[in-house]
Structure 1
């Protein structure tokens, strides 16, 4: 059982793509019960302990489901597809138990159901987001880079005076994230945003809509410049810092970049991502 949920290549890849905050292989493995107790005790000291435990339970359940479907149905599921199924199941779970909570607790839990996790050791995570104003066709891009400890490395705001639509703005944000990582000579990166459609287009070879075809093809080319690259979908609740930068970008002209030290108006969002008040 330990090998199935922790050590097999599929399970390792799934835990990795979910950005689980602890290394599953670091807990005692004398039995499944001992291993699970290690996860539970470590999570109890984290500010988002309930969410982490929920993520672990649903991940283990998905690994078991994938194993059974492969044995009994002959179907194969990729780690990325399994990741999406885990996150979808957690959202359904949170909706199902919401009526059992006190109203104020419900609001608090739903706003933090999916949290921002630090990237694995050796990786840099780049969160991206875009804003779009339909009335005048303008928009903006927000990028935030952090390391394995959650330390701020850089942020970039880009004003888009003319943009076709919101989807185009998100695609441009993805391309700018890749360009920024390339310009910084990063080798191991995670690109994370709340635009599931754009991430899917870049991470697969599915046919492209005409409005974003050229941009996504650029992204597909750029992603091969890195030794290791992963794309993560993240709901708005765990993409707040990039969203704040994207909103700010509409108030500037051109591009503004911050390195080493974040602007003062971004600090509260960065602290919130890490579970600080």
Structure 2
């Protein structure tokens, strides 16, 4: 994959269970789906932690598939802010944004993280809900 792609990510967080799910969908410059992934999340601290893990997992998949130019979109504005500043670096899960910023610079020719309103992130939201189902099943 050498073309520019867009990857939407989202997470679902269930506070009582401290678990959730994540999902990501990748589209190329023609808006054709290149891949979609889901997975469970466990031992979560809060919604920020879930959203950060969703993006981190999406970064992993993009790296493994050889994506070089990518725009990651999240509907969680605090996560986008964490990746475009240092304001969250000393927070409870601050290592995640720090690690992601490093990996984005190191492993991609061009990588950005932007905010997308929830209405524009519906497919990733649906995938995250599927990930919750995997968490509930113990997968």
- Note whether the superposition's TM-score is higher than 0.5: yes
What are the superposed Cα offsets for residues 213-238 of structure 1, whole Å, 9 maximum, x if unpaired? Answer: 11111101110111111221001000
Structure 1 residues 72-111: aligned runs within 5 Å: none
Give the match for residue 80 of structure 2: 199
Cα deviations by residue, 1:162-181 (Å, 9 ceiling, x for unpaired) = 21111100111111111111
Name the CA distance, whole Å, in 1 between partners of 2:114 and 2:41: 24
Provide the aligned length of Structure 1 versus Structure 2: 133
**Whose RCO is larger (CA < 8 A, sep 6+)?**
2
**1:148 alignment counterpart:** 29
Partner of residue 249 from structure 1, selected from 116, 131, 136: 131
Structure 2 residues without counterparts, runs of 5 or longer: none
Change (3 A) 1:170 1:209: farther
Q: For residues 127-276 of structure 1, what are the structure 2 equivalents within 5 Å?
A: 127-224=8-105, 225-252=107-134, 253-254=138-139
Q: Is the 8 A contact 1:142 1:158 kept in 2?
A: yes
Shift of 1:195: 0.8
Separation in structure 2 between the aligned mates of residue 162 and residue 235 of structure 1, nearest angstrom = 27
CA–CA distance in structure 1, aligned partners of residues 117 and 29 of structure 2:
20
Query: Which stretches in structure 1 are left out of the alignment for 5+ residues?
Result: 1-121, 255-277
CA drift of 1:209 comes to 4.5
> Quick check: 1:179–1:222 contact (8 Å CA) kept in 2?
no
Q: Residues 151 and 157 from structure 1, CA distance in 2 versus in 1: closer, same or farther, beyond 3 angstroms?
A: same
Considering fraction of residues, name the structure with more strand: 2
Question: SS of the counterpart of 2:89?
Answer: coil
Secondary structure, in 3 states, of the residue corresponding to 1:205? coil
Please give the TM-score of this superposition, normalised by the length of structure 1: 0.46
1:23-52 deviation digits (Å, cap 9, x = unpaired): xxxxxxxxxxxxxxxxxxxxxxxxxxxxxx
**Higher relative helix content:** 1
1:207 and 1:151 mapped to 2: Cα distance?
34
Structure 1 runs (4+) deviating above 4 angstroms are: none
